[in-house]
């Protein structure tokens, strides 16, 4: 260890943190100062290797990260001084707008889960020795998601994952729950199955260096699949015998370290120094070599094609070279199938064609039918158990290694992972999220299981695409579209079986819809817009009304977002009245999507608090069944 050089780098990084935040007039200098020695030793002490990944979970310490990049020669000092300015890629909390950053952080408690996903992804890459490092703040350890991540990391024996806990005692508003009680953190981490290394002085470079050296000895490549025989050739090519435990380095640090009037002082969180205070602070730092550059592998983040073993086409959703997707639809011979089962069938089929697909489950795979994929490809199926927040962030981590994650649970339960979904959009996410058991149509399980807010939730995320298939063919085609297109997708599926209404040759598109003109008994005056389960109710109503010489046009709005604005507006012009019917609460659903176009319509939605009953009883009670549609049309 070149301790003198590391000390000089630490002074430079502190200088950068202080000057950049003062220039910005905002930021979190004290939170950044506490982690200087830890990260300087990691990046410039020889521990961060080619292919490794780093996640700054305590995202408010972005000035620390940007200063490390400056010390590595990746950004110049003038660019560093654009911190937090409009248009700068050096944002208040890090985002991938800066190429060296893989994931956006700042909503605390999510970074470790992303690291778990990265570590799982690296395990799928044959003979990868790359490691994942996550810098955590002690305040964010109050977030339950961290402990979900720790539990699952231990379960999967992720010895290629190291968390660094910056215990600086002070949060935004006073002392954290545990303060500087390092034993408290160590005991909890040990209980969750982690190896722990305690650093009593998180600013002592020698002690930090020794801790990282110990962690490197414990880190290892853990092969996926059946146990390797000790005398096999494979075993001879692997690193030393693994312990199978993720590692947490727990370091006692001082918030504001390096500036006496900031050190361990409450009330300085998120406050930069003014010009006079900056002069005093820089005087304390002493001589700083502004031209100093440290050697590091910090530029190496996302693995290349040859490292993942996944061809570029697969990472974008393509199929195996020279092999076309399986043709034909065995469901054509079925009278009915649930869209959730059709999704499961399709996912298992696509898994054969694309080795980049990974699947994450919240312990409901036998209900979402992701178990069909799990049986075929157990090494690419990850059981996340009942921890939806962790599941979504882990999926993001797997994506950043080059895989295409499909994530599924009940639509109702996914709402608890909204912040993780929201944050993923700032990380240029390519996630395929599937919510099953949507709406009151699930029946007897009752309101706690009914996803009635999920469309609103997913529509509100800016880049999202929202699908709601009505039959098995649509579910298959839309699942294939999700795979072939990069981005944040949501597929809403239903519990009950529904009739097959589309031919396998039918085409589906992002932002698409289908028009069901019905029996030609005259010019239709009423347009009925429906999706999923209510489409079948609308088609029943259409048939009955046609028998009474009341023609209607029914639209299957399977593409809820983006809307096919042009087609919808044209259809509305051709009809005197419009009805929207949906198995969702009124706020944020299909009705509000149509309303955003300035269209006037009669809205049938779930307006009463639901309870247990048969699907038919509940659809009738909420007045979103065929009878309610017929009544509404006649009243018009």
Digit-coded pLDDT (tens) for 95-137: 999 999 999 999 999 999 999 999 999 999 988 889 999 999 9
Q: How far is CA 540 from CA 381, 494, 517, 522, 534, in A?
A: 39, 18, 13, 18, 10
Is pLDDT at 412 greater than 80 in this prediction? yes
Which band of pLDDT confidence, cut at 50, 70 and 90, is reported for residue 217? Answer: confident
User: Between β-strands 552-556 and 514-516, what pairing exists: parallel, antiparallel or unpaired?
Assistant: antiparallel
Q: What's the pLDDT score for residue 522? A: 67
Q: Are residues 187 and 317 in the same domain?
A: no
CB-based contact 309:123 (threshold 8 Å): no
pLDDT for 523: 76
User: Could you tell me how many residues make up the chain?
Assistant: 636
Angle of helix 472-484 versus helix 339-353 axis, rounded to 10 = 40
Q: How many structural domains is the chain composed of?
A: 3
Give helix 388-401 / helix 111-124 axis angle, nearest 10°.
50
Q: Residue 580 pLDDT > 90, yes or no?
A: yes
Mean pLDDT confidence for 488-497: 97
CB 48 within 8 A of CB 107: no
Mean pLDDT over 189-198 rounds to 97
The reply to whether 287 and 344 lie within a common domain is no
Tell me the residue range of the domain where 554 lies.
514-635
Question: Above 50 in pLDDT, residue 323?
Answer: no
Domain boundary among 444, 468, 499: 499
Nearest alpha carbon to residue 249 among 185, 155, 205, 169: 185
Q: Is residue 36 within 8 Å of residue 258, measured between CB atoms?
A: yes
State yes or no: pLDDT of 226 exceeds 70: no
Distances (CA, A) of 469 to 343, 478, 500, 558: 10, 7, 11, 5
| 439 within a domain of the structure (yes/no) | yes
CATH number of the domain that residue 553 is part of: 3.40.50.920
Q: Answer yes or no: is pLDDT of 306 > 90.
A: no
Please indicate, yes or no, whether residues 265 and 392 belong to a single structural domain of this protein: no
Q: Which residues contact 144 (CB under 8 A, 6 or more apart)?
A: 109, 389
pLDDT at 211 over 60: yes
CA distance 603 to 618: 17
Q: Do 244 and 275 fall into the same domain?
A: yes
Q: Are 456 and 588 in contact (CB under 8 A)?
A: yes
- Is residue 20 in some structural domain? yes
Contact 83, 90 (CB under 8 A): yes
pLDDT at 327 over 90: no
Q: What is the pLDDT of residue 324?
A: 34
Q: Which two tokens stand for residue 487?
A: 């981005």
pLDDT band at 386 (very low <50, low <70, confident <90, very high): very high
The pLDDT tens digits for 463-487 are 999 999 999 999 999 999 999 999 9
User: Cα–Cα distances in Å, from 330 out to 324, 341, 468?
Assistant: 17, 13, 21
Q: Do residues 131 and 443 make contact, with C-beta atoms less than 8 angstroms apart?
A: no
The yes-or-no verdict on residue 233 having pLDDT over 60 is no
Question: Residue 127 has what pLDDT?
Answer: 80
* Strand order from edge to edge, sheet including 559-561: 381-383, 357-361, 404-410, 432-436, 489-492, 465-467, 559-561
Do the Cβ atoms of 557 and 584 come closer than 8 Å? no
Among the listed residues 161, 309, 153, the one whose alpha carbon sits nearest the alpha carbon of residue 221:
161
Confidence of residue 297 (pLDDT cuts 50, 70, 90): confident
Question: Does some domain include residue 519?
Answer: yes
Measured CA to CA in angstroms, residue 367 lies from 66, 112, 338, 362, 442 at distances of: 45, 28, 11, 10, 12
Beta strands in 138-278 (DSSP E): 161-167, 170-171, 174-175, 195-199, 247-252
Residue where a domain stops, chosen among 465, 499, 533 = 499
Q: DSSP for 467-528?
A: E--SSHHHHHHHHHHHHHS-S-EEEE--SS-EE--S-TT----TT--EEE----SS---EEE
Q: Does residue 200 sit within a domain? A: yes
Residue 65: inside a domain, yes or no? yes
- 411 by DSSP, 3-state: which? helix
122-to-49, 128, 271 alpha-carbon distances in Å: 14, 6, 38
More confident residue, 327 or 205: 205
Tell whether the model's pLDDT for residue 274 goes beyond 90.
Answer: yes
Q: Per-residue pLDDT for 304 more than 90?
A: no
Within-domain flag for 232: no
Q: What is the DSSP letter of 312?
A: H
Do 275 and 193 share a structural domain?
A: yes
Over residues 259-282, the mean pLDDT reads 97
Looking at residue 520, what is its pLDDT? 63
223-244 burial, b if ≥16 CB within 10 A, otherwise e? Answer: eeeeeeeeeeeeeeebeeebee
Catalytic residues: 388
Shared domain for 537 and 485, answered yes or no, is no
The mean pLDDT value for 209-236 works out to: 61
DSSP 500: -
User: For residue range 33-63, what is the model confidence (pLDDT) as tens digits?
Assistant: 999 999 999 999 999 998 999 999 999 999 9
In this predicted structure, what is the pLDDT of residue 328?
44
pLDDT score for 367 = 96
pLDDT (tens digit, 9 = 90+) per residue, 513-560? 999 997 665 677 999 999 999 999 999 999 999 999 999 999 999 999
> What CA–CA distance (Å, rounded) separates 13 from 3?
15
State the residue for tokens 């999704």: 343
Specify the pLDDT at position 519: 64
CATH number, position 427:
3.40.50.970
Residues 491 and 525 in one domain: no
Q: 317 pLDDT exceeds 80? A: no
Q: What burial letters (b/e) apply to 515-539, b meaning 16+ CB within 10 Å?
A: ebebeeeeebebbbbbbbbbbbbbb
Task: List the one residue out of 442, 85, 31, 445 whose CA is nearest residue 454.
Answer: 442
Short-list 65, 17, 70, 60, CA closest to 38: 65
Report DSSP letters for 325-336, one per residue.
PPPS-GGGG-SE
The helices-and-strands tally (H runs, E runs) of the chain is 26, 21
581 CB burial (10 A radius; 0-12, 13-18, 19+): buried
Instruction: Name the percent of the chain lying above pLDDT 70.
Output: 90
Which ranges of 223-301 would DSSP assign to H, the alpha helix? 233-236, 275-285
- Mean pLDDT, the chain, rounded, equals 92
Give the closest residue to 136 by CA, choosing from 88, 97, 188, 209.
Answer: 188
Does 461 reside within a domain? yes
347 and 465 housed in the same domain: yes
State the burial class of residue 123 (Cβ atoms within 10 Å of its Cβ: 0-12, 13-18, 19+): buried
Residue 341 has pLDDT above 90, yes or no: yes
137-182 confidence digits (pLDDT tens): 999 999 999 999 999 999 999 999 999 999 999 999 999 999 999 9
Residue 405 in any domain: the answer is: yes
- Say if residue 309's pLDDT is above 80: no
Same domain, 292 and 318: no
Q: Is the predicted pLDDT of residue 454 greater than 80, yes or no?
A: yes
Residue where a domain terminates, one of 499, 525, 550: 499
Task: State the DSSP H helix or E strand holding residue 405, giving kind and residue range, or none if neither.
Answer: strand 404-410
Minimal CA–CA distance to 21: which of 262, 256, 257, 272?
Answer: 272
Do residue 137 and residue 44 come from a single domain?
yes
Domain co-membership, 327 together with 361: yes
| pLDDT at position 243 over 70 | no
% of residues, the chain, pLDDT over 90: 86
In Å, how far from its chain's centre is CA 571? 37
Higher pLDDT, 60 or 228: 60
* Rg of the chain on CA atoms, in Å: 28
State the pLDDT at residue 313: 55
What is the mean pLDDT of the segment spanning 587-608?
97
Q: Are residues 383 and 524 in the same domain?
A: no
Contact 335, 501 (CB under 8 A): no
């Amino acid at each position: 260890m070149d301790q003198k050089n590391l000390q000089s780098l630490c002074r430079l990084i502190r200088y950068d943190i202080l000057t950049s935040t003062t220039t910005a007039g905002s930021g979190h200098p004290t939170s950044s100062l506490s982690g200087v020695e830890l990260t300087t030793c990691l990046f410039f002490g020889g521990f961060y290797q080619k292919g490794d990944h780093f996640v700054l979970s305590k995202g408010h310490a972005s000035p620390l990260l940007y200063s490390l990049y400056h010390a590595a020669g990746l950004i110049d000092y003038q660019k560093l001084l654009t911190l937090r300015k409009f248009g700068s890629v050096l944002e208040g909390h890090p985002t991938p707008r800066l190429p060296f950053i893989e994931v956006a952080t700042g909503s605390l408690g999510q970074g470790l889960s992303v690291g778990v996903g990265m570590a799982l992804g690296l395990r799928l890459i044959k003979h990868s020795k790359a490691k994942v490092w996550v810098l955590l703040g002690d305040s964010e350890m109050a977030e339950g998601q961290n402990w979900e991540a720790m539990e699952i990391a231990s379960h999967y024996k992720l010895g290629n994952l190291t968390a660094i806990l910056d215990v600086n005692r002070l949060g935004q508003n006073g002392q954290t729950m545990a303060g500087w009680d390092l034993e408290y953190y160590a005991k909890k981490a040990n209980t969750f199955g982690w190896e722990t290394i305690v650093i009593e002085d998180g600013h002592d470079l020698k002690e930090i260096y020794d801790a990282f050296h110990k962690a490197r000895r414990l880190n290892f490549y853990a092969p996926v699949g059946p146990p390797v025989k000790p005398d096999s050739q494979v075993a001879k090519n692997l690193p030393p015998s693994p312990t199978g435990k993720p590692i947490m380095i727990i370091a006692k640090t001082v918030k504001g370290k390096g500036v006496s009037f900031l050190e361990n002082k409450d009330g300085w969180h998120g406050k930069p120094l003014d010009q006079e205070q900056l002069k005093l602070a820089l005087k304390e730092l002493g001589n700083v070599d502004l031209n100093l550059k440290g050697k590091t592998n910090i530029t190496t983040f996302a693995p290349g094609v040859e490292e993942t073993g996944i061809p570029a086409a697969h990472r974008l959703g393509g199929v195996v070279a020279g092999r076309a997707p399986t043709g034909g639809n065995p469901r054509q011979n079925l009278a009915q199938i649930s869209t959730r089962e059709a999704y499961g069938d399709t996912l298992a089929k696509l898994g054969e064609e694309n080795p980049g697909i990974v699947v994450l489950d919240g312990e409901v795979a036998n209900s979402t039918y992701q178990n069909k994929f799990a049986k075929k490809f157990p090494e690419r199926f990850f059981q996340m158990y009942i921890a939806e927040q962790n599941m979504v962030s882990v999926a993001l981590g797997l994506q950043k290694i080059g895989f295409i994650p499909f994530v599924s649970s009940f639509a109702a339960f996914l709402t608890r992972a909204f912040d993780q979904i929201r944050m993923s959009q700032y990380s240029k996410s390519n996630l395929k999220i599937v919510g099953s058991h949507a709406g009151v149509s699930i029946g007897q399980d009752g309101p706690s299981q009914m996803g009635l807010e999920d469309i609103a939730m997913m529509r509100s995320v800016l880049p999202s695409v929202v699908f709601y298939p009505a039959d098995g063919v649509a579910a298959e085609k839309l699942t294939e579209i999700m795979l072939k297109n990069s981005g944040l997708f949501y597929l809403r599926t239903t519990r009950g079986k529904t009739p097959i209404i589309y031919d396998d040759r039918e085409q589906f598109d992002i932002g698409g819809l289908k028009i069901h003109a019905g029996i030609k008994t005259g010019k239709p005056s009423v347009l009925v817009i429906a999706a999923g389960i209510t489409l079948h109710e609308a088609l029943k109503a259409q048939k009955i009304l046609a028998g009474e010489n009341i023609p209607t046009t029914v639209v299957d709005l399977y593409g809820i977002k983006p809307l096919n604005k042009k087609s919808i507006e044209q259809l509305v012009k051709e009809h005197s009245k419009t009805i929207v019917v949906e198995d969702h609460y009124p706020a944020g659903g299909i009705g509000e999507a149509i309303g955003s176009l300035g269209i006037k319509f009669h809205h049938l939605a779930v307006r009463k608090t639901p309870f247990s009953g048969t699907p038919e009883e509940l659809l009738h009670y909420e007045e979103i069944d065929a009878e309610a549609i017929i009544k509404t049309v006649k009243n018009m």
